Homo-oligomer: A and B are copies of this chain.
Amino acid sequence: MPNWEPIEGDLATPLGFRGAAVAAGIKKTHAALDLALIFSDAPETAAAAVFTTNRVVAAPVLVSRQNLIESRGRCRAIVVNSGNANACTGRDGLRVAQETARAAGKLLEIEPSKVLVASTGVIGVPLRAELILRKLPRLKRELSAENAAAAARAIMTTDTVPKTCVIRSEAKGKAVHIAGIAKGAGMIHPHMATMLSFLATDAAIGPRMLQSLLSAAVEDSFNRLTVDGDTSTNDTVVTLASGLSEISVVPGNASRAWFLEGITLVCQTLARMIARDGEGASKLVTVEVLGARTPLEADRAARSIANSPLVKTALAGADPNWGRIICAVGYSGARFDPNKVDILVNDLYLCRKGVDAGFDEAAAHRELDRKELVIRVDLHAGGASARVWTCDFTRDYVTINAAYRT
């Protein structure tokens, strides 16, 4: 099957999708977009989703999980708000999420179980249903291909830029698209913290296969992301597939691998955009661990480095402090001989066989000062490797988070 190529576009690029966004007054900032509707015109649209693994689960996650099951993976609409997470809001919160789905279903003339809901923002503050309900008719009226782009802005919280990725491929002379939007800056971690992402495709794919490929793509993208080690109550990745390209993705066929490649590409692109936009972050850092004894140990070592506040502050200062990196690997649980470890930034050795590589200080500083860089650690203990994305830890991160709620 042919390759996937990035193209200019938005959520409405795949055939069958429309969207709209409004300022509903949920965010404190007046007139900021904070409510969006995404809709698929195709009655047979397939849906799949991956949700947070946190034990504390927000009301919209509970409702969406339930609706996905009830509709047997045939959801067609997503109502998403920013400015309030509707988490730790008790029964009232659950009612708000349910009412939202019910009202949107009625308005769109689909069963309420075909509506997914998602929220992001502050935890523990009641979300007023009427703020959403009274805007639904307008959202429905304004549903269009042109208005879909605004959804990427409506889901932003501390994000500094909207995040969109659209790719295109061809099969049997027909164009196929996958588009995605995402929000998420702080709290990003394995298991997708305070991270929302919505994907749309016009490939024809059943709910079961879509779920399995989305789960695999999330594992290789959003779950490789770590900004500050926290995970959230609201994380949600949803994919809707309209099927209108008439190109089918079928089990046991080359189309499966082809579609997996595409959906992974969209998720990875969005994940990297999130890491680059980490709260207060100044750079995108890829951490690669090679030569581990097992994939699990490689993963643990990579996450240990990526989550270390000491490593992340050194990265902010472009300080080639490889001692903190080897130290983080040392408490990760990975088994290795410290006297064999190599540590590189981009292609420059900082540490060779566990001791200082005698690098040029200014050159190392230059490498670490790039907007995008790779920290590569070779444990020379086996054949397993892992990769995660993170960002540096700046004073601005603290400033943003010390003042977020109040």
Chain A contacts to B: CB under 8 angstroms: 53-57, 85, 87-90, 122-126, 186-187, 191, 193, 228-233, 307-310, 313-314, 316-317, 319-324, 326-331, 334-336, 338-339, 351, 353-356, 361, 365, 393-395, 397-399, 401-406
Query: Which residues of B are found within 8 Å of A53, using beta-carbon distances?
Result: 331
For the complex formed, measure the closest distance between the CB of A357 and the CB atoms of chain B, giving whole angstroms: 9
Across the interface, which residues of B come within 8 angstroms of A324, CB to CB? 123, 230
A319 CB to closest chain B CB (Å) equals 5
Report how far A244 CA is from B166 CA in the complex, Å. 77
A62 CB to nearest chain B CB (Å): 11
A-B contact pairs, 5 of them (CB 8 A): A87-B327, A88-B322, A123-B327, A230-B310, A316-B398
Contact B405 A327 (CB under 8 A): no
- Pairwise interchain contact B393-A398, C-beta atoms closer than 8 A: yes
Q: How far is the CB of A274 from chain B (nearest CB, A)?
A: 16
The residue in chain B whose Cβ has the minimal distance to the Cβ of A93 is B355
User: Which B residues lie within 8 Å of A122 (CB)?
Assistant: 321, 323
- Which residues on B sit within 8 Å (CB–CB) of A232? 327
Among residues of B, the one whose C-beta sits closest to the C-beta of A405 is B321
- Consensus secondary structure, chain A interface: loop
Q: Which residue of B231, B356, B406 contacts A124 across the interface (Cβ within 8 Å)?
A: B356
On whether the beta carbons of B397 and A87 are closer than 8 Å, the reply is no
Contact status of A87 and B323, CB under 8 A, knowing A308-B229, A395-B395? yes
**Chain B neighbourhood of A398, CB < 8 A:** 313, 316, 393-395, 397-398
Across the interface, do A191 and B331 meet the contact criterion of CB distance under 8 Å? Answer: yes
Asked if A314 contacts B401 (CB within 8 A), the reply is: yes
Q: Given contacts A327-B123, A398-B316, A404-B321, is CB(A186)–CB(B310) below 8 Å? A: yes
How distant is the Cα of A61 from the Cα of B186 in the complex, in angstroms?
Answer: 37
**Which residues of chain B are within 8 angstroms of A229 by Cβ–Cβ distance?**
229, 307-309
Docked pose: A398 CA to B314 CA in angstroms:
9
A360 CB to closest chain B CB (Å) equals 13
In the complex, which of the residues B54, B124, B326 contacts A355, with contact meaning CB atoms closer than 8 Å?
B124
- Decide if A356 touches B314 in the complex (CB within 8 Å): no
Contacts of A87 in B (CB 8 A): 323, 327
For the complex of A and B, the 9 pairs showing the least CB-CB separation, nearest first, are A123-B323, A317-B402, A56-B330, A313-B401, A54-B330, A231-B331, A90-B355, A55-B330, A395-B395
Best-surrounded residue of A55, A123, A314, A397 (most CB of chain B within 10 A): A55
Contacts of A228 in B (CB 8 A): 309-310
Contact B327 A404 (CB under 8 A): no
- In the complex, what's the smallest C-beta–C-beta distance from A24 to chain B, in angstroms? 21
Would you give the shortest CB distance from A17 to chain B, in whole angstroms? 32
Among the listed B54, B308, B330, B404, which residue makes an inter-chain contact with A233, where contact means beta carbons less than 8 Å apart? B330
Considering only CB atoms, which chain B residue lies closest to A121 in the complex? B323
From A310, A324, A393, residue with most partner B Cβ within 10 Å: A310
Give every chain B residue within 8 A of A327 (Cβ-Cβ).
Answer: 54, 56, 87, 123, 230-233
**Interface contacts beyond A187-B310, A229-B307, A310-B401: sample of 17 additional A-B pairs, CB < 8 Å, sorted by A:** A55-B329, A55-B336, A55-B338, A56-B326, A85-B323, A87-B323, A87-B327, A88-B326, A88-B351, A124-B356, A230-B310, A231-B327, A231-B330, A319-B403, A319-B406, A320-B406, A321-B405
List B contacts of A334 (CB < 8 A).
55
